Amino acid sequence: MSAAAEPPRRRPPGLVISATEPVRTFLASASRDRLIPEDLRRVASDLSSLREVPYRSLRDVWSSSDPSRRPDLARLLRGSGFVLESPKPREKSEELKARLRKLSEIAEKKAYEELVKDIAPKKENYEPFSSYKDQLGFGLHVVVTMFTGYLVGYAAFRALFSRNPVMSTAGGILGLVGAMLVETLLFIIRTSNQDTKRPTPTSRLKKNQ
């Protein structure tokens, strides 16, 4: 039956050094030295089996030992090194986590759009007379057409009704209305032609393939 795993030792506060063989030998010898106080002998006994020892405890044991028999402190510590504990990683705040998630989503969205930009159809607005120049040109064209229709109707009715001013005016108005209807019909035809010429998503996909 295997022995239960020992719980991890808690690091003592203060400076900690690595225990070399001379340090462990000194501590084992100090744990049996009757000239050293009993509490320090227990400390020396506990530290003699460790790989890392607190410098303050080692110094206390060394100071309480017989000066004539204890090793020089500098020679005792030769080969030992400082043992530094790795700092715990800082936990990210909830605000930082939310911001990182948002940035990650934005980056993924941009990457997806970059991936499908040659496949997904672009949104194009086909609006007739979208510019000021087109609107002005169409307005002038309508005015000229209506004026021409008025003149034609006026001249026709004047010839038919012996230069009667009332009938001539009525003919001009009739010609103006007729010209307006013709212009409206032409406008509808032009708009329908533009709708049929719009590229569809299927045609774009076939073209890209």
209 residues of the chain, pLDDT tens digit each: 444 444 455 556 678 888 889 899 899 988 898 888 999 899 989 988 888 888 898 889 998 888 888 888 888 888 887 777 766 667 767 888 888 889 999 999 888 888 777 675 555 554 555 566 767 777 787 888 888 888 888 888 888 887 788 888 888 888 888 888 888 888 788 777 766 655 554 454 444 45
Return the SS3 of 148. Answer: helix
Tell which residue, 178, 169, 170, has the closest CA to residue 148. 178
Say how far residue 30 (Cα) sits from the centre of its chain.
62
Question: What pLDDT sits at residue 121?
Answer: 57
Question: What pLDDT sits at residue 4?
Answer: 47
Query: Which pTM does this prediction carry?
Result: 0.38
What are the tokens at 24? Answer: 């462990």
Question: What pLDDT sits at residue 1?
Answer: 43
Question: What pLDDT sits at residue 123?
Answer: 52
Instruction: Answer whether 91's CB lies under 8 Å from 57's CB.
Output: no
Cα-only R_g, the chain = 51
Instruction: Answer whether 77's CB lies under 8 Å from 16's CB.
Output: no
Tell which residue, 68, 71, 61, 88, has the closest CA to residue 21. 71
CB neighbour list of residue 33: distance below 8 Å, 6 or more residues apart: 41, 65, 66
